[in-house]
């Protein structure tokens, strides 16, 4: 055997396992890439949403302050001191902590 053959044999036996593990990891990541992307994206959006919700609390209180003085035209709701509010968008009911509301009418998204 020549010196080059011995060097190749030593390199393959020394780094073969490492190379094999690397190839297996690359194959697994490439097959599960879409699931991994969804998981990372979901975690990012959840963190972003929580952070923005905390920052918006004083602003939302200011926006909904004017609704505290609205009187309902419905006799039952007026006697309870509540109003009926139509909230359009995702996450229906998010703003209910800022206003005393009797009933939420959910919208259908087309």
Q: Which residues contact 62 (CB under 8 A, 6 or more apart)?
A: none
> What confidence category does residue 106 fall into, taking pLDDT thresholds of 50, 70 and 90?
very low
Q: Are 83 and 51 in contact (CB under 8 A)?
A: no
Residue 86 CA to residue 91 CA, distance in Å, equals 13
User: Which residues fall within 8 angstroms of residue 103, CB to CB, at 6 or more apart?
Assistant: 84
Regarding pTM above 0.75, the answer is no
Q: For 31-84, how does the pLDDT look when each residue is reduced to its tens digit (9 = 90+)?
A: 888 888 888 888 887 777 778 778 888 888 888 787 777 888 888 878 877 777
Rg (CA), the chain: 30
CA 81/CA 75 separation, integer angstroms: 10
Q: For 5-23, how does the pLDDT look when each residue is reduced to its tens digit (9 = 90+)?
A: 787 788 777 777 788 888 8
């Amino acid at each position: 055997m020549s010196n080059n053959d011995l060097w190749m044999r030593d390199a393959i036996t020394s780094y073969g396992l490492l190379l094999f593990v690397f190839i297996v990891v690359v194959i697994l990541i490439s097959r599960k890439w879409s699931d991994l992307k969804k998981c990372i994206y979901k975690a990012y959006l959840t963190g972003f949403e929580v952070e923005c919700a905390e920052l918006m609390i004083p602003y939302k209180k200011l926006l909904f302050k004017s609704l505290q003085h609205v009187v309902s035209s419905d006799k039952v709701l007026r006697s309870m001191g509540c109003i009926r509010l139509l909230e359009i968008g995702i996450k229906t009911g998010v703003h209910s902590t800022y206003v005393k509301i009797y009933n939420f009418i959910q919208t259908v998204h087309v």
